Structure 1
């Protein structure tokens, strides 16, 4: 798409927008940030009518992203940059301006990783965002109204977000020192995060807790030790609010090693595995 055709397209798609050559400035009356949220996703977005949307998005276990998504494919999305600029009512830039180049490109969408957090902070201070779309010298100036309130709501969503994603939570390993059956204090934060995830994900129907040992000792002693380790982890989860009825506890002794120990106390085998089972849709 040429600069001229891009400008004509914007003019036709955005009645009332200020379009000069290849410059689009979002009208202030349309500069509204909307929050879409649930325990596993926070998105602060602004629609640019006829063009697409700009959004800040965060998921558990993923970095914060600033996304620019156009409603239709655009050839200029090859090297896109963004920077903060002072709003028209500001006498000076609230924070020193820096230009960032998008790290991820996919079809008609680009994502900024390094820029997302500093630009979110500058947005909260009243700055606008300016996107430069490739070598075609096409620009989008994204104005903002009541951005501080919008960012506060977004940060509130982030504070309530699950500390883990499904990929992180579905398989958890708790490791034990040789002969030990108590959960180490350093591993408690991981169990706390898992318990919090379980409070938020209503699709979990069962939690499998499997105790294991290395191959040092007799089979009977290892079976008892693996049972004690599994019971310990289950007790910790129940203390953290997980329903006991969801837990299925199994003791395997040294029958299923992750690594062949061959008579050695292999730490990888001294573990309790926690696996989450979801309901099928």
Structure 2
């Protein structure tokens, strides 16, 4: 941890910080992934970790995670620069990108992530600058076999689940007044949910709850909410979900999300889909 210690000491005394350069023998990108995340990373000894990370439903981001928190850190930037071996060919540096998020010892770049990943694929290196009062710490992250690493990273992303558990667990499908069949965007939403189920075998039950607004009689509202819930259930079965996993319930206008919807122009007409995992306690309540 000698380099990180030097930075902290230099920042306190306003001394120039040496450029930390990732040695070529450690410049290989390591790939880690599953159905729910893909990470392409390098460990920088004594400093921290640099990684490109994607999770279902979230944008690609470039993260710099320090070994220790640095409370005085006020700004961070990153840019691509030609590798040493590219100096004899046409190669350009990118403009610097500023970090969007700071949290404890983690710095996140979002807008920079995709263009810099493409630069890594072209063989470029990354040049970071971390700013603290009276001090800037440069980090030059070299890269070896960048094109191969990015190709593997993209393959990991292509095989990833379309949603996280938090996103898939509860889905709301709003219905317009008088609507009983699903629209194309709603069909696409259900198709994405079914694709998620292919990655999560722990889901053993799906609750489908139909709701309506308060226009008409209680019986009519109950019937229309059932038609909508049945329509969602039928589509899930058509997409390959086992009928035994589904529990369909119709509530009419008994559980509104909004009151006085007629005055506001809003509606309580909806179908909610809730996934339940095996081995976890779930409240089987209406929404």
TM-score bracket, shorter-length normalisation: 0.7 to 0.9
- The residue number in structure 2 matching 1:15 is none
- The residue number in structure 2 matching 1:204 is 203
RMSD: 2.8
- 8 A Cα contact 1:101 1:112, kept in partner: yes
- 8 A Cα contact 2:120 2:146, kept in partner: yes
User: Structure 1: where are the runs of 5+ without partners?
Assistant: 10-19
TM-score in terms of structure 2 length: 0.85
- The residue number in structure 2 matching 1:67 is 63
SS in 1 for 2:191: helix
Q: 1:126 aligns with which of 123, 127, 130?
A: 123
- The residue number in structure 1 matching 2:170 is 171
| Alignment deviations for residues 43-80 of structure 1 (CA, whole Å, 9 cap, x no partner) | 10111123221100111222221111122234663212
How do 1:11-90 and structure 2 match up within 5 A? 22-74=18-70, 77-90=73-86
1:86 Cα deviation after fit: 0.5
How do 1:1-281 and structure 2 match up within 5 A? 6=6, 22-74=18-70, 77-91=73-87, 94-135=91-132, 136-261=135-260, 268-280=267-279
TM-score in terms of structure 1 length: 0.86
SS in 1 for 2:84: coil
Supply the distance in 1 between the matched residues of 2:80 and 2:261 (Cα, whole angstroms): 60
SS in 2 for 1:144: coil
Change (3 A) 1:264 1:224: farther
Which has the larger displacement, 94-103 or 78-87? 94-103
Supply the distance in 2 between the matched residues of 1:6 and 1:150 (Cα, whole angstroms): 31
Change (3 A) 1:26 1:262: closer
SS in 1 for 2:267: helix
Aligned length: 271
- 8 A Cα contact 2:208 2:271, kept in partner: yes
Which has the larger displacement, 92-101 or 63-72? 92-101
SS in 2 for 1:45: strand
Supply the distance in 2 between the matched residues of 1:215 and 1:248 (Cα, whole angstroms): 24
